[in-house]
């Protein structure tokens, strides 16, 4: 074979290979290193997940959106719940409700969207003036949201303020059928020039391991018959979520997205929280998320005894271990559970296989 023929054959192989590489270059990379250059270059990351992507700075150049989401039995399964960067779960009247924080992804639609609570103002004020998506509320709470917007703590992106970004589904009965279009909310309500939120958590560097006690799962008892279970799934690198309530026993307890995926965050943070009484509704508990308290952090298959401290509403909570060192989470999505101080939270290890077997049986 002549040298010229060898060179032609090498060129024929190389060109399609380059074309294939170019076609795949528009996808987000799961690696923190930019492989398109000969030198190591760390990719930018999304602030609320710590996940790298070549276009993170460009795609994340917008405010976070906080969506108040229904968690009553009639609302399950929810839509978009698996794709939030951060989810807060807190007590309302006899059940729990979610505040979902979206930034790195903006799924459409998301819901069911429900009413605001007094707890929400302090809860979301550390998100660099997020869009706040909600619907309904008594005059007192409506006034609290309006006052927070006037102070620049949030942007009111409610059903009343951005009607064209919401719709009602015929698949469910009201009030469990209101959904929001997040890209439309940004278009209608995002202040011009407002960029990404500041980070809420610190994240470990790629390849670093968490330091704690190995854990296979946990249970959080919110009271009133609502028990939240998580099971560590090493294959997915996250904690599969389950919820037992009035209509969902163990066999039907997996927390699913309408799209079909089970909610499996990389991190679960339990912050034991004092609750007071809403100034706008004596029946409504109010989470006091400024202050300090005990915490438990579940990350990388480990459980870490911790504390949380939050000096003011504009600052995120700081998580520290028993030695006082800051705790770094796994890059990815985080669920924050806010049970009352003194609530029963159980960590399960290798000796608790009965519980783990039950969760395995409940998975779809």
Residue 9 confidence class, pLDDT cut points 50, 70, 90: very low
pLDDT in tens, 175-204: 999 999 999 999 999 999 999 999 999 999
What's the CA gap between 64 and 124, in Å, rounded? 10
Indicate the number of domains in the chain: 2
**Residue 235 predicted with pLDDT over 70:** yes
For residue 123, being part of any structural domain is answered with yes
CATH number at residue 106: 3.50.90.10
Please answer whether residues 332 and 312 qualify as being in contact, where contact means their C-beta atoms are separated by less than 8 angstroms.
no
Cα angle for residues 297, 301, 306 (degrees, 5° grid):
20
Classify the C-alpha dihedral 126-131-220-299 as positive or negative: negative
Which of the residue ranges 115-129, 294-308, 328-342, 344-358 would you say has the lowest mean pLDDT? Answer: 344-358
Residues 149 and 260 in one domain: no
Residues 295 and 331 in one domain: yes
Residues 241 and 311 in one domain: yes
- The stretch 224-253 carries a mean pLDDT of 89
What's the CA gap between 344 and 227, in Å, rounded? 10
Residues 246 and 297 in one domain: yes
By residue range, what is the domain housing residue 333? 213-362
Residues 262 and 310 in one domain: yes
Name the more confident of 224 and 255: 255
Residues 160 and 239 in one domain: no
For residue 160, being part of any structural domain is answered with yes
Residues 221 and 178 in one domain: no
Of the three residues 155, 189, 223, the one that is the final residue of a domain is 189
| Tokens read off for 276 | 């007071």
Residues 167 and 298 in one domain: no
Q: Which pLDDT does position 31 carry in this prediction?
A: 54
Residues 230 and 120 in one domain: no
Residues 254 and 311 in one domain: yes
**Residue 252 predicted with pLDDT over 70:** yes
């Amino acid at each position: 074979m002549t040298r010229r023929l060898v060179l032609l054959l090498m060129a024929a192989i190389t060109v399609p290979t380059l074309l294939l590489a170019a076609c795949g270059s528009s996808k987000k990379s799961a690696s923190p290193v930019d492989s398109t250059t000969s030198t190591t270059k760390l990719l930018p990351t999304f602030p609320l997940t710590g996940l790298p992507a070549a276009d993170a700075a460009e795609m994340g150049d917008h405010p976070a959106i906080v969506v108040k989401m229904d968690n009553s039995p009639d609302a399950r399964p929810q839509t978009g719940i698996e794709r939030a960067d951060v989810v807060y779960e807190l007590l309302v009247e006899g059940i729990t409700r979610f505040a979902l924080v979206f930034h790195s992804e903006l799924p459409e639609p998301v819901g069911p969207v429900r009413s605001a609570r007094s707890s929400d103002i302090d809860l979301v004020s550390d998100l660099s003036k997020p869009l706040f998506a909600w619907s309904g509320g008594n005059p007192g709470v409506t006034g609290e949201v309006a006052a927070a917007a006037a102070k620049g703590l949030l942007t009111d992106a409610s059903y009343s303020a951005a009607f064209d970004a919401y719709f009602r589904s015929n698949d469910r009965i009201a009030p469990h059928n209101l959904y929001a279009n997040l890209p439309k909310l940004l278009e209608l309500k995002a202040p011009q020039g407002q960029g990404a939120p500041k980070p809420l958590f610190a994240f470990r560097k790629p390849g670093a391991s968490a330091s704690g006690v190995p854990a296979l799962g946990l249970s959080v008892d919110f009271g009133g018959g609502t028990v939240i279970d998580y099971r560590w799934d090493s294959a997915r690198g996250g904690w599969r979520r389950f919820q037992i309530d009035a209509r969902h026993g163990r066999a039907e307890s997996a927390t699913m997205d309408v799209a079909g995926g089970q909610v499996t965050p990389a991190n679960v943070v339990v912050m034991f929280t004092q609750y007071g009484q809403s100034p706008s509704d004596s029946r409504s508990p109010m989470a006091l998320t400024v202050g300090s308290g005990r915490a438990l952090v579940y990350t990388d298959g480990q459980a870490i005894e911790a504390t949380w401290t939050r000096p003011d509403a504009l600052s995120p909570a700081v998580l520290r271990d028993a030695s006082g060192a800051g705790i770094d989470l796994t890059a990815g999505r985080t669920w924050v559970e806010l049970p009352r101080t003194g609530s029963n939270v159980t960590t399960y290890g290798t000796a608790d296989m009965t519980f783990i077997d039950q969760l395995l049986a409940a998975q779809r």
